[in-house]
Amino acid sequence: MISKIEKFYSEIDPAHADLFHESSVDHVGLAGLGLFALRWQQFLSAAAVVAVVNAVVGGVFVALAAGFALQLPSPLPSIGAGAAAGALIAFAFLRHQWVTWMHVKNALPMQRSGSKR
């Protein structure tokens, strides 16, 4: 429905027709929405927050389990194991998220057809 309204307004004012671009499933224009502009933008999503929290929880679990299992006088090896496990978990989750974003990017066009950037 919004596509018909945008087309109607672009016909009323042809001089400003580029302001009333038609959008549909075929003309998503993800780059125009600001997506995929930066590699670090993946960290701004709710999925990234959940991934980092899960990685911290997993790292703490590994550190506690290693500390309990090893019963060493110094906690540093357990903390190191937990930090390494947390980093590995975070990498795995964020890598999966990046691959998913790239599938979306490849499935949808980056610019509206007819637009020049």
Tell me the per-residue pLDDT of 3-45, one tens digit each, with 9 for 90 and over: 677 778 778 877 877 776 655 444 455 555 555 555 677 777 8
* Residue 41 and residue 19 share a domain: no
> 4 lies in which domain range?
1-30
Q: What is the pTM of this model?
A: 0.62
Triad 107, 110, 115: Cα angle to 5°: 135
Residues 66 and 92 in one domain: yes
How does the average pLDDT of the chain come out, rounded? Answer: 79
Structural domains in the chain (count)? 2
Q: Are residues 69 and 51 in the same domain?
A: yes
The pair of three-digit structure tokens given for residue 112, joined into one six-digit string: 């509206």
> Alpha-carbon distance 27 to 77, whole Å?
53
pLDDT for res 2: 67
Query: What is the tens place of the pLDDT at every residue in 89-103?
Result: 999 999 998 888 888
Residue 86 or 3, more confident: 86
Residue 46 CA to residue 61 CA, distance in Å, equals: 23
Residues 57 and 23 in one domain: no
